Amino acid sequence: MAKRSAPEVNAGSMADIAFLLLIFFLVTTTIPKDSGINRKLPPMEPPNDEEVVIKEKNIFTVLLNGKDQLLVEDELMELKDLRAAAIKFLDNGGDGSCDYCNGAKDPKSSDNPDKAIISLKNERETSYSAYISVQNELVAAYNDLRNKRALQIGPKRGFRDMDFVKMEKEYKDPKFNGNKEKLKEVIDQIRNEYPEKLSEVQ
Amino acid sequence: MSKFKNKKDNALPAVNTASLPDIVFMLLFFFMVVTVMREDNLLIENKLPLADQVEKLDKKNPISYIYAGKPARGYEKFGTEARLQLNDKFADIKEIQAFINAERAALREELVPYLTISLKVDRDANMGIVGDIKQELREANALKINYTTGTGSAMDN
C-alpha cells in the first residue's frame, strides 16, 4: 500500500440529478404539433358601388346553423355527403369550356371551376368544431379534384405517382431532388384550373 | 473440501447502475431537442378540433397565437362563456389590433408581411367569438390565418 490511488467519486446520485433535469424539461416544454387549415382573410375594402353580378347557378351555398345542421343549396345534408356534393358542383363544367372536367355538364349547375364559388355562411351559435369540419370537407373537395388532375398531367411532365398534396409537400421540401421550377409550373397550372374560391359571408 | 467452498455469501451481486445516468441523459437530450419551451400559460380550455386536410405551419415564418375557449378550471370566476387569451392573460376582442401591432413591432421588417396568426380555438367555442376575431384581424390587416387543429378524421368532431 505504498501508492494510494485517489478515491473514486461516488456517481450514484448522477442518475438522480439527470432525472431531475429530465422531469424539469418534461414539465416546462411541449412537443410542437402545429398544423391546421390555412386561410386567407379578405382585406377590408373601401365601400364601392360596383356590384359584381354572379349567376345563381355558379354559387354553391353552404349554411351551418346554430344547431350545427348543414344546409347545402337549401337542402338538409349530412356532413359526410358534403365533399361529394362540392366536387360534383365544382367539376360540373356546364358551359363546356372546361375540357378537363369530369362532371355531368349539367347546364343548371356551375359553368366551370373558375367561375364556381362556394359560399359558406355560419351563425354565431355554430360550434367551432362543426365549422372546422365543414371547412375541412370543402378543402378536401378541392384537394380531391386537384389530386385527380395531378395524377392525370403529372406523368407527362415527369412527376409520376405524385398527387397534388404530395407535389406541394415536395415543393416545400428542401431535400427534394428534382426540377423544382417544373414542379412549380405544374402546381400553378393545377391551381389555376381548380382555383380555391371560397367566400365567407359575414 | 473447504477449498472449494464459496467464500462469499449467497446474496445476489448488486446490479451495476453505472450506465443509468447515461440512459437518463439520453432521454433528457431527446426531450430537449424535440420539444420547445411552453410559450403561453393557458388559462382556457383548449381542446382543438380535428381535421385531416391540414398543412404544417411553416416555422420559418413568424407565428402569433390567439387562443380562445372557455375559462379552464380554477378560472371559473371569468365565466363559462368562451373567452379570448392573448399572451398570458385574458383579453378583450378590442385588444387584438394592439396585440397584432405589438407582435409586428417585435419582428424584423422584412418578415412582417409573412406573419401568420394561428387561431387555437377550443372545439366547444362557438363561431361568434371566432367571427369577431376574424373581423378584428381584417381590420388589423393580418390576413394570413391558420385554424390550428389536431390531425384526425373531421367526422369525429
Domains in chain B: boundaries = 50-156
Shortest distance between the Cα of B2 and any Cα of chain A, in A, equals 30
The predicted-structure confidence for A82-115, as pLDDT tens digits, reads as follows 888 888 888 887 777 777 777 777 777 778 888 8
3-state SS assignment for residue B85: strand
- Are A34 and B57 in contact by the 8 Å Cβ rule? The answer is yes
pLDDT bracket for residue B23 (50, 70, 90): confident
Residues 6+ apart with CB under 8 A from A103: A88, A90, A91, A92, A93, A109
The CATH class, in words, for B50-156 is alpha beta
CA distance A170 to A154: 13
Whether residue A136 lies within 8 A of chain B, CB to CB, comes out as yes
- A44 inside domain: no
- Are A32 and B36 in contact by the 8 Å Cβ rule? The answer is yes
Share of chain A above pLDDT 70, in %: 96
CA distance A187 to A195: 11
| Nearest Cβ partner for B154 among A34, A38, A137 | A137
Whether residue A163 lies within 8 A of chain B, CB to CB, comes out as no
Whether residue A26 lies within 8 A of chain B, CB to CB, comes out as yes
Helix (H) or strand (E) run with residue B116 in it: strand B116-121
- A2 inside domain: no
pLDDT of B7 above 60: no
- A53 inside domain: no
- Are A129 and B123 in contact by the 8 Å Cβ rule? The answer is yes
Task: Decide if B144 and A40 are in contact by the 8 Å CB cutoff.
Answer: yes
Number of domains chain A is built from: 1
- A15 inside domain: no
| Nearest Cβ partner for A35 among B55, B134, B139 | B55
Query: Would you state the cell numbers that stand for residue B140, as one nine-digit string?
Result: 388589423
Shortest distance between the Cα of A95 and any Cα of chain B, in A, equals 30
- A124 inside domain: yes
Shortest distance between the Cα of B110 and any Cα of chain A, in A, equals 20
What's the mean per-residue pLDDT of chain A? 81
- A196 inside domain: yes
Looking at this predicted complex, what is its ipTM? 0.75
Domain range for A74: 60-201
Q: Mean of the pLDDT values across residues B30-53?
A: 81
- A54 inside domain: no
- A106 inside domain: yes
Q: Mean of the pLDDT values across residues A183-199?
A: 84
Nearest to B82 by CA among B74, B91, A142: B91
Please give the model's pTM, rounded to 2 decimal places: 0.78
| Nearest Cβ partner for A34 among B57, B123, B137 | B57
Query: Would you state the cell numbers that stand for residue B54, as one nine-digit string?
Result: 391540414
